[in-house]
Chains A and B, each alone.
Chain A
Amino acid sequence: MTLISDEGAQELRPRSELTASELLREVASVLRLSEAEAAKLGDLPEDPDEDQTMVINMGPSHPSTHGVLRLMLELQGETVLRCKPIIGYLHTGMEKTGEQLTFMQGGTNVTRMDYASPLNNELVFSMATEKLLGIDGDIPERAQWMRMLLSELNRMSSHLLFMATNGMDLGAVSMMIYGWREREEVLRFFQKVTGLRMNHNFVRPGGLAADLPPGWRDDVLRILDMLPERLEEYDTLMTGQPIWRERLQGVGVITPSEALALGATGPILRSTGVEWDLRRHDPYLRYDEVEFDLIVGSYGDAFDRYAIRLNEIRESMRIVRQILDLMPEGDYRIQDKKVTPPPRARIDESMEALIHHFKIFTEGFKVPEGEVYVAIESPRGEIGCYIASDGSPTPYRMHVRAPSFVNIQCLPHMMRGGLVADAVAVISSVDPVLGEVDR
């Protein structure tokens, strides 16, 4: 068996070298559906002449692959016959690292996975830790609402980034500047609150790292007042444009049953018409106390996914406005000495506080034995955190169910039979963050 390169089994191999069943597997792996499912589709393309097809390599360094995603494409003319995503170029062993860091330090690790929505990553890790500790019911109200505020603002910034990259991928280059401009406004708020634009490590087990700074309300209001007008600009620039619609409508279609079978969540699942949003259907924090609409598509194409994200920004703004009204006063972290370090001021006057502070930052806190899976809705879909603890201050095993990692399996299916130019639109509409795919 000769191989095209040294990638081994990850490679798309020439059809002549494959046995019939292997070919079916490969073509079925284009669909990433089981053989039985694939046979039911019945519209597998005729085996083309080998001279008429070619296997090309897209990525890993390609501007539209959002990082280091590599696609092997089998083309006949401009039509994509088979496609195989190859990932792992950004793998840094973050789950292994997570086993070395204490629960206290774990946030710095998980926040770097999905770098476009770091606060959601921290949130799911903190919630899993709290559930293991059994303090998930005791988190102060203000902490819950602050988490919600940050989580929604993060959803907005992530979707704004999508608007920028989606526009850029499809040739609306000015959109790239606009999307980044708006995202920057949100990141500026994050910088004021957490000290960092990204990778905040702000949501921690037990609450948050600090209270909101003075004047935060005005900053949020400024963002909320500015954005609607800008989003209307997006509508003018893209949504209503015939070129934009031509480029996205009917591209990368996926049906509800396929999306569910492939484990897709978030805007991809909702674009097919399935109403599933963990904020609504499995409410965490205080999402059951705010009013918002689920944005659901009907065709499952790239345009639906674009429109869902655009309108989710609007819904997030609606939620943020309610949070501004409902934000209670109080503590921003649980006053449980086990997980909360003493306030800085007390360290100067109390030796116990100093020892406590030292112990909690050097040893961390012990988390009772057990295992737990907690899932929340990140901008990309269900992000889950599975932690198994053996009673020590570090997780015995920390696994993050990354939405992009699972969603990326839809790519071969969405691309099959489409054009190479549409492949770019499809990757963009799935909105994968490769840091999270490879972890």
Chain B
Amino acid sequence: MADSPDETIEESSEVAEVPEPEMFGCPMTDSRGQLVLHVDRDRYLDVAKQLADEGYAMCVDLTAVDYSEHMERALPSSATAERFEVVVNLLDITHRRRIRLRVQVPEGDAKVATLFDLHPGTEAMEREVFDMFGIEFDGHPDPSRILMPEDWNGYPLRKDFQVGTIPVQFKGAAS
């Protein structure tokens, strides 16, 4: 399978100038030939802004993973593994390259800054992450559930929300 984005990433001069795996002071790793940047939660918005200036002007995808059953995953030494991880895929259509941000979000304070002011297209995606994982996005204009009913209890994509163990919840139905 031809995989030219990776080739263009390797060929781009900007990465060649920085041989050590680091970008904007954040550790950078390679996942199956894809560029991954492990960003600190405090610097997340800042790094996203810098990347947008670098050309990564489009946020194609924003999602999250609940790693509570897989805490021993491979991470660079400077990153601490937390329960949640917000994963952002950015695209640079001018240079045809992609980069992925992974942000560690602790369970006790599941909150990250919103990308809405930078990439308005993350509006629905951040709502979905809030809906499914209970991660709050600080400054999001409409922090409400998007897919589940408004009065739903729990966050379905969390690993402790087991399939089949929750009685079907419907508005107005006798429980």
Contact = CB atoms under 8 A, between A and B. Distances in A.
A29 B141 contact: yes
Given A408-B124, A409-B124, A384 B5 contact: no
Contacts of A384: 60-61, 89
B121 A136 contact: no
Nearest to B89: A373
A281 interface: yes
A100 B157 CA distance: 12
Contact of B93 (A9, A31, A276): A276
Nearest to B57: A260
A96 B163 contact: yes
Interface in B76-104: 87, 89, 93, 96, 98, 100
Contacts of B123: 29, 32, 409
Interface in B134-155: 141-151
B16 interface: no
A9 B142 CA distance: 8
A307 to B, nearest CB: 22
Nearest to B116: A34
B2 A100 contact: no
Contacts of B60: 263, 265, 375, 382, 384, 401, 406
Given A37-B120, A281-B96, A93 B156 contact: yes
Given A9-B150, A263-B119, A282-B96, A127 B1 contact: yes
Interface in B58-73: 58-61, 63, 65-67, 69-70, 73
Contacts of A329: none
Contacts of A91: 147-148
A88 B100 contact: no
A31 B98 CA distance: 27
Contact of B144 (A8, A35, A130): A8
Given A34-B116, A88-B146, A263-B121, A373 B1 contact: no
B157 A95 contact: yes
Contacts of A283: 2, 4
A438 interface: yes
Interface stretch (A67-75, A113-121, A341-349, A364-372): A364-372
A336 to B, nearest CB: 14
A7 B57 CA distance: 34
A373 B61 contact: yes
Contact of A397 (B65, B116, B150): B65
Nearest to B85: A388
A36 B118 CA distance: 10
B31 A371 contact: yes
A25 interface: yes
A425 B161 CA distance: 40
Contacts of A131: 1, 32
B125 interface: yes
B162 to A, nearest CB: 10
Contact of B121 (A10, A139, A409): A409
Nearest to B123: A32
A132 interface: yes
B121 A406 contact: yes
Given A137-B1, A382-B60, A406-B125, A372 B32 contact: yes
A87 B145 CA distance: 10
16 contacts: A8-B151, A9-B145, A25-B141, A35-B117, A96-B156, A96-B161, A97-B163, A131-B32, A286-B2, A382-B60, A384-B60, A384-B61, A390-B70, A401-B63, A405-B128, A438-B147
Interface of B: 1-5, 31-32, 34, 36, 57-61, 63, 65-67, 69-70, 73-74, 87, 89, 93, 96, 98, 100, 116-125, 128, 132, 141-151, 156-157, 161, 163, 171
Interface of A: 6-10, 25, 28-29, 31-37, 87-88, 91, 93, 95-97, 100, 127, 130-132, 134, 136-137, 139, 144, 260-265, 274, 276, 281-286, 288, 369-373, 375, 382, 384, 386, 388, 390, 396-397, 399, 401, 405-406, 408-409, 438-439
